[in-house]
């Protein structure tokens, strides 16, 4: 969870997501010009509709992933993005005026996953996880150009048209993400990934090939060397070999990095060789100096079966046998056999009574128990009720509201009426275990950050990195982060990306 202001201000509303997809499903197929090729293609929606869907979905994306706040880095990524954008089909003379006039934004998402994505209509995203693994400005330019390519070739609109023919798939997926009792139902652990997949759609191999072609075209016209991307794809290969399924987002939505290395080599074979300016390397590394690496503990973390949120100063126990997903707007816990769900979020209401009353106003709710409670001396209010899911299934719900430091928080636990007896104790233990964090070691925990260190001599990489790396980083991962081999020779003066546990200077 991010800080309270953010998640109160931008609650995830799956209604909006559904609306966007409904627009997409109800539009008949249309043919329209694709800026990237100038040809007419069958598309799911018009350019105006694409821009509208992008604008609407941008808020969802920020609520799901969170914005990485670093104005200097944002400016830098936008500058590189704009340089590539200027050479792209979205800004060329022959392109329709409405396309050329569509603003394109570049956003850094506060997520450790390695990903870059685009929404239709000109919203380009790169995660801080991706930025950490890139090594120079050329690589960043190619990644952004690839996403601009998806927008210019209108791949989202084409997928929408194709998936309409492939019937109902999108709608089924969207329904899974629909809200129930203020918290989402369905496969909650994958919610972020699922919403992202729905919004970004999964592109075909042909679309990915086209986006790679366009990225070579745009980035080389902008003066970058697309061959540099090979080093990044090799890095992805190494992460894939090491982590396997640990990066489902990127690997499921992008082709095998090995294939892309060959493709980039083929596509760039005819390009004149460029000597990359050394300033472009240091400019990139300087821009990401101090970047947060991995999970940010200030936004919440689990340790010893307790969830801690240092920024908001609260903690609660995680029921044993439950998996936890910490999303920007909520914390989601689900039991391993997916029989019970427990969600936690901030409420907009100013008092326990108001929050409980809002909950009780929901249609179809049959209240079984209600009344004031206490959680570690904090005033609380509990409700047990039966409710009906959108699919008709009856669930027994325990809702629990807590007044803490001037804000109202709420838990919602639910399971089938038959299984409620099994989970009631676990729900209550978590809800009543909510309390203040007092341990200064937890309150003051800082994220691991990337620091630049200059190699003082010619030596192997492993001999140059600190012996005491902050957990969970190990030398092998730091080598991948730097796009070098662990035993590779480093020349003096080279800047190395080192994970450090101290705060940002």
Beta carbon of residue 190, minimum distance to Zn ion (angstroms, whole number): 20
Beta carbon of residue 254, minimum distance to Zn ion (angstroms, whole number): 6
How far is it, in rounded angstroms, from Cα 457 to Cα 464?
A: 9
How far is it, in rounded angstroms, from Cα 22 to Cα 383?
A: 34
CB closer to Zn ion, 147 vs 228: 147
CB closer to Zn ion, 211 vs 500: 211
What's the number of CA atoms in the CB half-sphere (13 Å) around residue 382? 18
Beta carbon of residue 134, minimum distance to Zn ion (angstroms, whole number): 16
User: Which structure tokens are listed for 501?
Assistant: 């546990």
The torsion of the CA quartet 108, 6, 3, 356, rounded to 10 degrees, works out to -150
* Three-state secondary structure call for residue 61: helix
CB closer to Zn ion, 91 vs 155: 155
Cα dihedral sign, 467-471-475-479? negative
CB closer to Zn ion, 211 vs 480: 211
Beta carbon of residue 178, minimum distance to Zn ion (angstroms, whole number): 28
Rg of the chain over Cα atoms, rounded to whole angstroms, equals: 24
CB closer to Zn ion, 137 vs 208: 208
List C-alpha distances in Å: 132 to 94, 102, 269, 285, 352.
37, 29, 28, 9, 43
Beta carbon of residue 158, minimum distance to Zn ion (angstroms, whole number): 13
Beta carbon of residue 281, minimum distance to Zn ion (angstroms, whole number): 25
CB closer to Zn ion, 124 vs 342: 124
CB closer to Zn ion, 128 vs 150: 150
Q: What number of other Cβ atoms are within 10 A of residue 419's Cβ?
A: 16
What does the binding site for Zn ion look like in residue numbers (CB under 5 A)?
Answer: 208, 211
How far is it, in rounded angstroms, from Cα 98 to Cα 51?
A: 10
CB closer to Zn ion, 257 vs 343: 257
SS (H, E, C) 150-187: HHHCCHHHHHHHHHHHCCCHHHHHHHHCCEECCEECCC
User: Which structure tokens are listed for 460?
Assistant: 């192997």
How far is it, in rounded angstroms, from Cα 190 to Cα 186?
A: 9
Beta carbon of residue 149, minimum distance to Zn ion (angstroms, whole number): 8
Q: What are phi and psi of 267, to 5 degrees?
A: -70, -25
How far is it, in rounded angstroms, from Cα 436 to Cα 376?
A: 8
Beta carbon of residue 115, minimum distance to Zn ion (angstroms, whole number): 10
Beta strands 448-454 and 495-500 are: antiparallel
How far is it, in rounded angstroms, from Cα 229 to Cα 267?
A: 12
Which of 221, 192, 213, 31 lies closest to 112 in space, CA to CA? Answer: 192
How would you class 74 by CB atoms within 10 Å of its CB: exposed for 0-12, middle for 13-18, buried for 19 or more? middle
Beta carbon of residue 201, minimum distance to Zn ion (angstroms, whole number): 10
Beta carbon of residue 483, minimum distance to Zn ion (angstroms, whole number): 21
Residue nearest to Zn ion (CB): 211
How far is it, in rounded angstroms, from Cα 417 to Cα 331?
A: 23
CB closer to Zn ion, 147 vs 335: 147
Beta carbon of residue 215, minimum distance to Zn ion (angstroms, whole number): 9
Task: Tell me how long the chain is.
Answer: 505
Beta carbon of residue 148, minimum distance to Zn ion (angstroms, whole number): 11
CB closer to Zn ion, 208 vs 228: 208
CB closer to Zn ion, 235 vs 482: 235
SS (H, E, C) 89-140: HHHCCCCCHHHHCCCCEEEEECCCCCCEEEECCCEEEEEHHHHHHCCCHHHH
First to last CA, the chain: 24
Beta carbon of residue 211, minimum distance to Zn ion (angstroms, whole number): 5
Whether omega before 85 lies within 30 degrees of 0, making that bond cis, reads no
Q: Alpha helices of 336-485 — where are they, by DSSP H?
A: 352-360, 420-432, 440-443, 461-464, 475-481
Helix (H) or strand (E) holding 72: helix 71-87
CB closer to Zn ion, 213 vs 415: 213
CB closer to Zn ion, 203 vs 461: 203
């Amino acid at each position: 969870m991010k800080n309270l202001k953010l998640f109160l201000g931008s609650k995830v509303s799956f209604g909006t997501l559904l609306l966007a997809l409904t627009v997409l499903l109800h539009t008949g197929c249309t043919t329209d010009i694709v800026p990237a090729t100038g040809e007419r293609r069958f598309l799911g929606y018009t350019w105006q509709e694409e821009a509208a869907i992008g604008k609407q979905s941008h808020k969802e994306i920020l609520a799901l992933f969170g914005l990485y706040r670093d104005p200097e880095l944002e400016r830098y990524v936008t500058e590189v993005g704009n340089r590539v954008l200027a050479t792209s089909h979205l800004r060329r003379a022959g392109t329709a005026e409405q396309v050329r006039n569509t603003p394109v934004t570049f956003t850094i998402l506060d997520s450790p996953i390695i990903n870059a994505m685009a929404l239709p209509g000109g919203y380009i995203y790169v995660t801080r996880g991706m930025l950490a693994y890139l090594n120079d400005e050329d690589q960043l330019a190619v990644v952004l150009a690839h996403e601009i390519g998806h927008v210019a070739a209108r791949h989202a609109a084409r997928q929408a048209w194709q998936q309409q023919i492939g019937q109902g798939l999108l709608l089924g997926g969207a329904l899974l993400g629909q809200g129930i009792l203020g918290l989402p139902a369905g496969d909650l652990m994958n919610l972020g990934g699922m919403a992202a997949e729905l919004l970004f759609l999964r592109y075909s191999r042909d679309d990915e090939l086209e986006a790679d072609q366009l990225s070579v075209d745009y980035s080389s016209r902008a003066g970058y060397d697309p061959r540099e991307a090979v080093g990044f794809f090799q890095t992805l290969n190494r992460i894939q070999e090491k982590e396997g399924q640990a990066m489902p987002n990127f690997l499921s939505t992008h082709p095998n990095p090995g294939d892309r290395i060959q493709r980039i080599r083929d596509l760039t074979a005819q390009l004149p060789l460029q000597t990359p300016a050394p300033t472009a390397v240091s400019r990139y590394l300087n821009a990401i100096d101090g970047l947060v690496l991995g999970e940010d503990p200030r936004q919440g973390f689990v340790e010893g079966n307790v969830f801690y949120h240092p920024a908001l100063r609260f903690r609660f126990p995680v029921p044993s046998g439950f998996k936890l997903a910490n999303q920007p707007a909520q914390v989601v816990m689900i039991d391993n056999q997916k029989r019970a769900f427990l969600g936690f979020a901030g409420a907009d209401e100013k008092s326990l009574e108001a929050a409980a009353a809002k909950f009780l106003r929901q249609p179809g709710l049959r209240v079984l128990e209600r009344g004031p409670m206490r959680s570690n001396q904090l005033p609380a209010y509990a409700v047990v009720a039966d409710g009906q899911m959108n699919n008709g299934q009856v669930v027994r719900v325990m809702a629990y509201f807590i007044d803490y430091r001037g804000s109202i928080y709420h838990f919602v636990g639910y399971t089938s009426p038959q299984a409620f007896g099994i989970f009631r104790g676990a729900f209550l233990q978590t809800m009543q275990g909510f309390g203040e964090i007092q341990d200064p070691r937890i309150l003051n925990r800082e994220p691991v950050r990337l620091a630049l260190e200059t190699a003082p001599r010619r030596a192997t990489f492993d001999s140059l990195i600190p012996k005491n790396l902050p957990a969970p980083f190990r030398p092998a991962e730091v080598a991948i982060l730097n796009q070098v081999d662990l035993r590779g020779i480093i020349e003096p003066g080279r800047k190395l990306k080192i994970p450090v546990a101290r705060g940002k200077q």
